Amino acid sequence: MGATEQLVTIAAVLLGALTSFGANYLMERSRNRYQLQTRWDDAKLSAYESYVDRMRACIFLAVQLYESREGLRPRDKPEAELLAEVAEAGRLRGRAFERIMLLGGDDVVEAAHELNAVAAEVDWHATGKMTGTLEEWRARNRAVFASINAFHEAARRDLGVQGGVRGERHPERDLLLPPARGEQRDTRA
């Protein structure tokens, strides 16, 4: 074997090694990016789920407090205890919101800000810091649930989830409310 043949063989081996190294490097980099993206998506999903859960807990407690104050429900707990629970739920909701600020995309953060503003009105009405009629109370609750749906939409887009929670296949829904006092529902089919 001549010197030229040996140089060609060495060049081919080096080219093969460099090609193999380059392919492995690109595959590893792609795999690391995918793992990082998946890790962030998992963290975002957890943050979004926790925030909505905390938001709903606040609303539920505000409803309990409001209905208790207005005599729409028998009082199970003293008002001071209900107020303390609403305040604690609000604190936890604030912590969950901070995770949204850290992890959420621009549209998600904006939807969360809007949701917080509408939810604050529900809290204020329930605690007596803001007054209003039963219809205004219900309108505030409708607004907060519409804002939750807007947050869901933004979160779904941020996570790359296909479909939506609005549109033709998902019409607008209203609050599930019991009949007004004195009204009876017709249960006949």
What pLDDT sits at residue 158?
A: 93
What pLDDT sits at residue 11?
A: 85
| 35 contacts 84 by C-beta, under 8 angstroms | no
Q: How is residue 175 annotated by DSSP?
A: -
Q: Round to whole Å and give the CA distance between 158 and 104.
A: 8
Give pLDDT < 50 ranges for the chain: 184-189
pTM: 0.72
Query: Is residue 75 domain-resident?
Result: yes
Query: Is residue 83 domain-resident?
Result: yes
Range of the domain at 125: 43-159
Which tokens hold the place of 71?
Answer: 């005599």
Query: Is residue 36 domain-resident?
Result: no
Domain count, the chain: 1
